[in-house]
Amino acid sequence: MTSSNLPPKRAAESVTESVQVVMPNHLNGAGRIFGGQLVAWIDVIGGIAARRHCGCAVTTAAIDNLQFREPVYVNEVVVLRARVTFVGRTSMEVRVDTFVEDVSGTRKLVNTAYLTEIALGADGHPTPVPPLLCETMQEKAEFEAGRRRRERRLSKADNPLSTLSGIS
């Protein structure tokens, strides 16, 4: 699972932020944002952060966590912030924090998701990614936590029933 001989990239280089305004066409029947719309925004920004790290095309292999902690209504602003937190050989873990921001600028956390993005070479197959240079204590701690998340994620991927029944 070691990284490639490519030159390392700083974790900060992948930081990506996007701001969306919730329009009427983003709502569900209850007048709140449609969850699938948020997932689409999370997937897009996660892919961009990963692409900034590896400098090639990427595809999403997994999204770990989706919990909608706050409702989001029309005309509210959704802020998404993504950064690469861990890399394997061809995979990158991207953390995406999603906030709803009110007119005073106060942000409430809606969701934190970890995405697994895979770098794809020109042949469409997984290709090695640069090592991740973690400079701050937080980046280093996140990298170590990412290693543990990867192990859990892959053991679940090997045994999909474990996520349904609690067996592992």
Ligand X SMILES: CC(C)(COP(=O)(O)OP(=O)(O)OC[C@H]1O[C@@H](n2cnc3c(N)ncnc32)[C@H](O)[C@@H]1OP(=O)(O)O)[C@@H](O)C(=O)NCCC(=O)NCCS
Q: Give the nearer residue to ligand X in terms of CB position, either 48 or 77.
A: 48
- State the nearest-atom distance from the C-beta of 130 to ligand X, in Å: 12
- State the nearest-atom distance from the C-beta of 79 to ligand X, in Å: 24
**Contact region for ligand X (CB under 6 A) — 5-13, 100-108, 131-139, 151-159?**
151-159
126 binds ligand X (CB under 6 A): yes
- State the nearest-atom distance from the C-beta of 39 to ligand X, in Å: 11
- State the nearest-atom distance from the C-beta of 116 to ligand X, in Å: 4
- State the nearest-atom distance from the C-beta of 93 to ligand X, in Å: 9
DSSP string over the chain: ----SSPPEEGGGG-EEEEEEPPGGGB-TTSBB-HHHHHHHHHHHHHHHHHHHHSSEEEEEEE------S--BTT-EEEEEEEEEEE-SSEEEEEEEEEEE-TT--EEEEEEEEEEEEEE-TTSSB---PPEE--SHHHHHHHHHHHHHHHHHHHHHH-THHHHHS--
Residues 49-88 that bind ligand X (CB under 6 A): 59-62, 88
Binds ligand X (CB under 6 A): choice among 16, 37, 85, 91: 91
The C-alpha atoms of residue 99 and residue 14 are separated, in whole angstroms, by 19
Q: Give the nearer residue to ligand X in terms of CB position, either 59 or 136.
A: 59
The C-alpha atoms of residue 160 and residue 84 are separated, in whole angstroms, by 25
For ligand X, how many residues bind (rule: CB under 6 A)?
15
The residue ranges that bind ligand X (CB under 6 A) are 1, 59-62, 88-91, 116, 118, 126, 153-154, 157
